[in-house]
A and B are shown apart, each in its own frame.
Chain A
């Protein structure tokens, strides 16, 4: 084959098809975002963002859903970040290469692979029923926190391991204890990486529907939650309800909700990436 065909020409043809395949993947992305932006922005207004829904969600705003998602994200970070960072510290600074570490790594890989709807069931069985939190912001946050753990741990561990060994040596040589060394010579320099990983995982948590389906989500609740034990609306669930559960909702309203959700997720991603690149250029080691 190769003798018969000019390799340069083969290469050109192959590269053309590779480009084509890549465009098949990337162009729809642009198309999808384009459609959402164009059609969603027509309903986007101050009122849409800040008002309560009316007439069984067929009119009015989506404020409770935005607020609910905000509560869930805050709850998720409150639970997942400390555990995630400490877990990463254990893996990066304390554990020795061995069977236990391998087991933890395997557990992390598996947590990352558990389907989101299974997290939903776990949250229902454990947080809602067994711990008796009921369907609430608390139960939903905890469920999303468990789901976010693997990403936060992995990102934090990488960030900790990227801190040069010499920082630790210097700290020890000055008489610092192990924890002091981690706290003052390692953690501060790993923080940008940890932050980026956390924000990216939160942006995913904010967009998840299945885990909150049975743990927090309220179908139609035109008021704000008063405590963490209340149910709440959330953006992704609201979009699901609008697009499949309520007949005759104006399509524009659905696009508007989708736009807000996408904007939120993209914004969080951009913030995470900006933090990463800012510190990468500033980094001097």
Chain B
């Protein structure tokens, strides 16, 4: 297995308050890593460090290192290039109030793709990969705001794909969605896994169990345990993990 992301002794702070404590983990190419844990466990902070979206959080500081493809995200990567390679899907659907097509073309256009034909290809391919093509192929030039919540979230996934990333970060992507929409998104994730490395932060332990290859459990800024999904849910090494997955807290 190829190591895609290496995290070493990563600590993070907001205005000096500890949010992540010496996290060490490796994420492999083409896996789905689920990250679970109660609220304020640091899982979203961790996720947003991978593509440096934490740069916008006031008072954020860090120690340690995060390497993607061997390059340190804070030293070696150019930030726009990093974020292009490490895409992100947010907790609530965030379509821009422009057409479906323009939403999809947003990333490619910013990276210099002008040709209408090329853009159309990318749009179609991305929408198909997010299982949205059939539903919106006749509505490409309508406002993305008119789509349903589940469709909007898949649009956001497709938009992320259109930027041609290698890693995709999901930040509780189904938190506002109904079970059917959730199922569709999980189906898409498993399909995407063939081509991309996925990191999924979720509040829903069952979702992590259904989707991920491996699961990491965060608690109060600490990485408590990381292992294959089966093992975390059946024979956890740490009793705190056991407590969480069996629903005792969180």
Contact = CB atoms under 8 A, between A and B. Distances in A.
A–B contact via C-beta, under 8 angstroms: yes
Interface of A: 166-177, 180, 184-185, 188-189, 283-285
A180 B80 CA distance: 10
A173 B97 contact: no
A184 B88 contact: no
Contacts of B87: 173-174
A102 B3 CA distance: 49
A174 B105 CA distance: 11
B153 interface: no
B145 interface: yes
Given A166-B90, A169-B53, A169-B56, A175 B84 contact: yes
A276 B17 CA distance: 43
B83 A173 contact: yes
Contacts of A167: 94, 96
9 nearest A-B pairs in the assembled complex, by CB-CB distance? A175-B84, A174-B107, A173-B88, A284-B145, A175-B83, A176-B110, A166-B94, A175-B80, A174-B163
A174 B97 contact: no
Contact of A174 (B84, B98, B143): B84
B96 A172 contact: no
A176 B82 CA distance: 10
B110 A175 contact: yes
Contact of A172 (B53, B109, B145, B159): B53
Contacts of B110: 171, 174-177, 180, 184
A66 B223 CA distance: 73
B191 to A, nearest CB: 21
Nearest to A173: B88
Contacts of B156: 170
Interface string B88-111: 101010101110000000110111
Interface of B: 51, 53, 56, 80-85, 87-88, 90, 92, 94, 96-98, 106-107, 109-111, 143, 145, 156, 159-160, 163
A189 B145 CA distance: 14
A127 B8 CA distance: 61
A130 to B, nearest CB: 44
B53 A173 contact: yes
Given A169-B56, A284-B143, A175 B81 contact: yes
B111 A175 contact: yes
Contacts of B160: 173-174
A174 B106 contact: yes
B98 to A, nearest CB: 8
A171 B53 contact: no
Given A169-B53, A173-B87, A174-B159, A189 B97 contact: yes
Given A166-B90, A174-B110, A184-B106, 11 more contacts: A167-B94, A170-B106, A173-B83, A173-B90, A173-B160, A175-B82, A175-B83, A175-B111, A185-B96, A185-B106, A188-B98
Contacts of B83: 172-176
